[in-house]
Structure 1
């Protein structure tokens, strides 16, 4: 998919996070869980619990709130992972920053966490890709959700230039970035998401 076509279709991208994470984002930019573990020098036990094992509840470490992975039960993951183990899959997911291409999906996720204050980052796609296109991939499915356990593996994350989009049904579920985005608040607007 040509970058220009992607920009025409998806001029904005959406990242939902807990409001408690906003001070850290202001200070350090937007990071994956793995990058945050490096930034805050997680010890081996913390790394194991946050990056390799399924997070069964929201984890609060070093001033960071990481979402649980309750939708990714081991049974469901075993049923659909292709060419990758569960720890490898979780490690892969935790190396990525996830952005929705449709605002409605971000707001649906906010409903799941309605008891917590959330903020939505509405990101300018052109500005993001100007600096992070080399680290961007598209995924046809919500890779961390196993409500509908469709097959998935390393090849689920497709470089932007290789992604085939012919019609609306080819709309990706998410764009991921495999590197920190230090200037995220310069290229995004932040809004509170009401419970």
Structure 2
């Protein structure tokens, strides 16, 4: 799918984070967990706990609040992953910045974190992809969720935007991911707290 077609179908994208991360986003832009670890020089113990294994609880490191990965259950991951180990999958997920293509799905996630101050970035798709389109991938499923009846997944689940086939609404991706820091994300977003 080309950028203009994707933008026509999905003019807005949605990224949920904690409101406490806004100062870092203002200073450094939107970063993956891996990029945050690099920026803040996480220790080897912090890197292992945050990037290579499932985060069982919300973690605060170096002034950044990282969401837990409660929907990534190890037993289900082992049965669903194709050609990739659980630590490799967790590492892969932590190298990406994720966006919902549906505001409703972002709001569902926000409700599950209602006890926290959330920040929902409502991002202009055309602006994001004009500078980061070559780093964009689409996934047909929520790649980090293994609840209920999880579908098989592996590296090939992340399809480059230009290679994604979209014929009708049944082909709607669950998420878009970017494999690069987005320094100017606030210039292309509106913010809801």
What band does the TM-score fall into relative to the shorter chain?
over 0.9
Q: Secondary structure at the match of 1:182?
A: coil
1:184 maps to 2:185: yes
Whole-angstrom CA distance in 1 between matches of 2:3 and 2:182: 19
Over aligned residue pairs, what C-alpha RMSD do you find? Answer: 0.6
Whole-angstrom CA distance in 2 between matches of 1:26 and 1:4: 28
| Residue in 1 that maps onto 2:151 | 150
TM-score for the superposition, normalised by structure 1: 0.97
| Residue in 2 that maps onto 1:161 | 162
Shift of 1:73: 1.1
Shift of 1:79: 1.0
Aligned length: 192
Q: Secondary structure at the match of 2:16?
A: strand
Listed one character per residue, the Cα deviations across residues 6-28 of structure 1 (whole Å, up to 9, x for unaligned) are 01000000000001111110111
Whole-angstrom CA distance in 1 between matches of 2:103 and 2:57: 25
Shift of 1:124: 0.5
Shift of 1:149: 1.0
**What does 1:38-57 correspond to in 2, within 5 Å?**
38-57=38-57
| Residue in 2 that maps onto 1:104 | 104
Unaligned runs of 5+ in 1: none
Whole-angstrom CA distance in 1 between matches of 2:123 and 2:186: 8
Contact 1:79 1:149 in 2 (8 A): no
Whole-angstrom CA distance in 2 between matches of 1:132 and 1:188: 15
Q: Secondary structure at the match of 1:111?
A: helix
Contact 1:138 1:176 in 2 (8 A): yes
1:121 maps to 2:127: no
**What does 1:126-145 correspond to in 2, within 5 Å?**
126-145=126-145
TM-score for the superposition, normalised by structure 2: 0.98
Superposed structure 1 runs of 4+ greater than 3 Å apart: none
Shift of 1:108: 0.2
